[in-house]
Amino acid sequence: MPQKPVAGRYELLEQLNHGGMGEVWRGYDAVLDRPVAVKVIRGQAAATPQLAEELAKRFRREARITARIQHPGVPQVYDAVLDEDSYDRLFLVMELVEGVPLSHLVHPDLSLPIGWAVAVAAQVATVLSYAHEVPVIHRDLKPGNILVAHDGTVKVLDFGIAAILRTDVTKLTATGSPVGTYQYMSPEQVRGGQVTPKVDLYALGCVLHELLSGRVLFSADSEYLVMFQHVNAPPAPLRQLRADVPAELEELVLHLLRKAPEARPADVQEVYERLRPFLPAAGEEPSPHEAVPPGTPDPTGVFRRPYAPRSRGRSVGAPDRAAAEAPAVPAAAPLSETLRAQIREAREHYDALVEEERFSQAAEVAGEIVEPAAQALGAENKVVLALRARRAGARLLGGDFRAALPEFEMLAEAYSRINGPTSRAALDCRAQAARCRAELGQVTEALTALESVLGVVRNVDSDASEEAVVLRRDIGMLLLAQGRAAEARALLEPLHDDLNLVYGPEDEMTLEVAEALAVLRLDLDGTTG
């Protein structure tokens, strides 16, 4: 059953994670046409209006404070919504971050490179420094709340959640299961003592110990016994578990894990300075022994290439390798009734979303069915190509030109092989790819491609065909953008005559070209006529 949109605008599309405090959903903001993450927090049941009001106030306060942490390592908070029907569900709408949580990378049989682990800890320390300045204390720092994004940026999730639910009041003598993550609780949290930024330092020590050793700091047969160890048991020195850990790094972790808060480092700035000697220098390339499992993001990159521009991904013109390497299946492969129904449903959903100008979500809907269709029918089956064309079109309409470009170029190549290089489908995709290049600032390449397509269209059809006049208009506007005024005028004047004849003087494109010519004449002749 579809979920009711939150606040009338945030749709819950797919559950990404589920835990004791609630759920995380991949969501969609219907107003701003963008994907979001929606944290659904299940609080204590509000038995009375007074308790409900207290929960609402606490939630709004923490959400607003969290939104003040201005750092790329903290996902942006877009909105905070309280379920006013029951007051026991809180919706935190945030930036959707794609990446790998640390909890997926820690394993006793996997030794993460020291530089990799230190880079994560250093980035977390930087985030905490901004948070503690607000001040905001995380209270529940753990591998599951630390995510390494695909570009290597470390994101610290769930700031303020522990404060909203008061998960820092679990005492060692409490009965039943504690609310919170007992493996990373500082001794003062276990006892129910005063919470200060030092609880985050202790948790960071637990996380770094786990990254380097591959195992949690303390383990026992019950949660109670683990909490008892946090209060009373000495932690095992890292070098007893892993011989290649530098002595200074072992000393830092032990310092972070001291039982008394005042005995720990003064602040996270001190922690960062002590981590710096183990971080890669700017320009330094990783050595072979620093390798991590394939596909694992690299958190050291921000230190090796500080302030580097965005890397050139395959989206700047390289074909979609995954699609190009999809296993070839005969075009006549049978289409199951289930898949046929899924494709039909995806098309209908796509069309409805495009009609509502929800282009980002439309591209996702088309993309979700592409892979199963390609596996069943083959990468160059006409149904699969049509679905890819829909996704590319939605990306173009939504302004995601960087993602649309390689899709259109792949489609142009595929249609050229199947239908011939002068087929309408191939030419259309080449033209759309060129338009993407123009939007990305690659004007020279875009002009060359559009002129090439126009040459073919002129040979196949008339100069006043619908395809030809749009191409002539696009080329003229690009010439204008390059400052090639005389060439633009030479192209746009005959185009204007054709548009007046075929579409009339009040047509939108006729008026657009007339306005451009008026500017050109003023520029070239000093006249408006």
301-332 pLDDT, tens digit each: 889 888 777 665 544 444 443 343 333 434 44
Structural domain contains residue 500: no
- Are 168 and 248 members of one domain? yes
| Of residues 77 and 238, more confidently modeled | 238
Residue range(s) defining the domain that contains residue 271: 99-283
CB 91 within 8 Å of CB 38: yes
**Last residue in a domain, options 51, 69, 94:** 94
CA of 63: how far to CAs of 38, 123, 166, 212, in Å?
Answer: 13, 22, 14, 33
- Are 225 and 241 members of one domain? yes
Per-residue pLDDT averaged across 431-444, rounded?
A: 91
Structural domain contains residue 515: no
Structural domain contains residue 114: yes
Percent of the chain at pLDDT > 90 equals 51
Residue 324 CA to residue 307 CA, distance in Å, equals: 33
The enclosing domain of 65 has a CATH number of 3.30.200.20
- Are 237 and 111 members of one domain? yes
Structural domain contains residue 528: no
Structural domain contains residue 103: yes
- Are 181 and 224 members of one domain? yes
Q: Which of 33, 88, 109, 140 is catalytic?
A: 140
In this predicted structure, the answer to whether residue 296 has a pLDDT above a threshold of 90 is: no
Structural domain contains residue 211: yes
Of 64, 87, 90, 89, nearest in space to 77 by CA: 64
- Are 148 and 243 members of one domain? yes
- Are 84 and 137 members of one domain? no
Structural domain contains residue 190: yes
3-18 per-position pLDDT tens digit: 788 888 999 988 987 7
Structural domain contains residue 459: no
**What is the pLDDT of the chain when averaged over all its residues?**
85
Q: Is 88 a catalytic residue?
A: no
DSSP letters, 443-492, are HHHHHHHHHHHHHHHHHHS-TTSHHHHHHHHHHHHHHHHTT-HHHHHHHH
Domain count, the chain: 2
| Of residues 250 and 168, more confidently modeled | 250
- Are 136 and 174 members of one domain? yes
Residues constituting the chain:
529
Residue 142 CA to residue 203 CA, distance in Å, equals: 7
- Are 113 and 245 members of one domain? yes
Lookup: tokens for 250: 């072992």
Residue 321 CA to residue 106 CA, distance in Å, equals: 30
**Last residue in a domain, options 256, 283, 310:** 283
- Are 163 and 231 members of one domain? yes
- Are 72 and 197 members of one domain? no
In this predicted structure, the answer to whether residue 145 has a pLDDT above a threshold of 80 is: yes
Per the listing, tokens 């011989």 go with 243
pTM: 0.67
AA identity, residue 338: T
- Are 32 and 170 members of one domain? no
Question: Rg for the chain (alpha carbons), in Å?
Answer: 29
Residue 154 CA to residue 72 CA, distance in Å, equals: 9
DSSP letters, 289-323, are GG---TT---TTHHHHSTTPPPP--GGGT---HHH
**Last residue in a domain, options 30, 59, 94:** 94
- Are 224 and 80 members of one domain? no
The enclosing domain of 233 has a CATH number of 1.10.510.10
198-241 per-position pLDDT tens digit: 999 999 999 999 999 999 999 999 999 999 999 999 999 999 99
Lookup: tokens for 109: 């049989």
